[in-house]
């Protein structure tokens, strides 16, 4: 899907546990504006929704299934859809604006997601409209999980 990227991260392990680099300025032109952490219970779906301008830079920690639909009329992959499962290893997914996305925790324990989007939620000082179109509560939506 045009602009979508999946990156399997490398774990640096020792007796204490592991460490992985999620984001590096020297490997990407992407620039995050904020960061947040969320927890999703097993079997729960978040989304689908899309952003008008925001790119999401998700780091999935746990077993997740990502659902993607290209809703960008000028994209070479317009109307294409894609399903991607993470392996349970920390995985980054870069989702550009206009790609409808949802994810489901397909593991048996709580899963965690760190997001480093390139836009502030509701803009500076939370004074703008939310940059998203939500589909999860729309029974007529073509974007169904």
**Is the four-CA dihedral 106, 109, 114, 117 of positive or negative sign?**
positive
- What domains appear along the chain, each with residue ranges and CATH number? 5-122+129-134 (2.60.120.10)
10 Å CB burial of residue 102 (0-12, 13-18, 19+) is buried
- For residue 13, give both structure tokens: 């392990």
Query: Quick check: 40 pLDDT over 90?
Result: yes
How confident is residue 28, by pLDDT bands cut at 50, 70 and 90? confident
The pTM assigned to this predicted structure is 0.93
């Amino acid at each position: 899907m045009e602009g979508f990227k999946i990156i399997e991260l490398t774990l640096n392990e020792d007796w204490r546990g592991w460490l992985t680099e999620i984001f590096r300025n020297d490997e990407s032109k992407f620039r995050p504006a904020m960061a947040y952490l969320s927890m999703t219970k097993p079997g729960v779906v978040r989304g689908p929704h899309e952003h008008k301008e925001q790119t999401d830079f998700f780091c999935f920690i746990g077993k997740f299934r990502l659902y993607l639909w290209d809703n960008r009329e000028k994209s070479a992959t317009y109307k294409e859809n894609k399903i991607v499962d993470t392996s349970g290893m920390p995985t980054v997914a870069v989702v550009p604006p206009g790609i409808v996305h949802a994810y489901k925790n397909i593991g048996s324990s709580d899963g965690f997601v760190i997001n480093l989007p390139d836009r502030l939620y509701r803009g500076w000082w939370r004074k703008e409209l939310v940059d998203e179109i939500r589909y999860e509560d729309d029974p007529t939506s073509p974007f169904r999980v």
